[in-house]
Amino acid sequence: MPGPDVVLTDVYLKGELTGKDLLHSIRHDFAYAKGLLPVLVMTGDANPANQSDLLRAGANDLVQKPIEERLLVTKLLFQLRVGRMLRDKLGK
């Protein structure tokens, strides 16, 4: 059964789980590689160190808040395209 093509999350989520926790689960608990399940993280944190930390944790890309709709759509389409090409190449 096919799974998701892309994950879009915010750094801050309701409840105990954060976007970074979700990212960790996707990459480590479920073992999805960056190319097989792209994760796009929305963040209002302009601190470059925190942004780098999210990318090192496995985010494919970041979208800075406040969200510019055209940029978000462009980044989502790009991640979908790259993910699809890699899955097709691997036969998944």
What CA–CA distance (Å, rounded) separates 31 from 49?
25
Is 52:45 a contact under the CB 8 Å cutoff?
A: no
Query: What does pTM read for this prediction?
Result: 0.90
State the Cα angle at 88 between 84 and 92, rounded to 5°: 100
For 7-90, CATH gives 3.40.50.2300
The string of pLDDT tens digits covering residues 50-83 is 999 999 999 999 999 999 999 999 999 999 999 8
* pLDDT of 67: 96
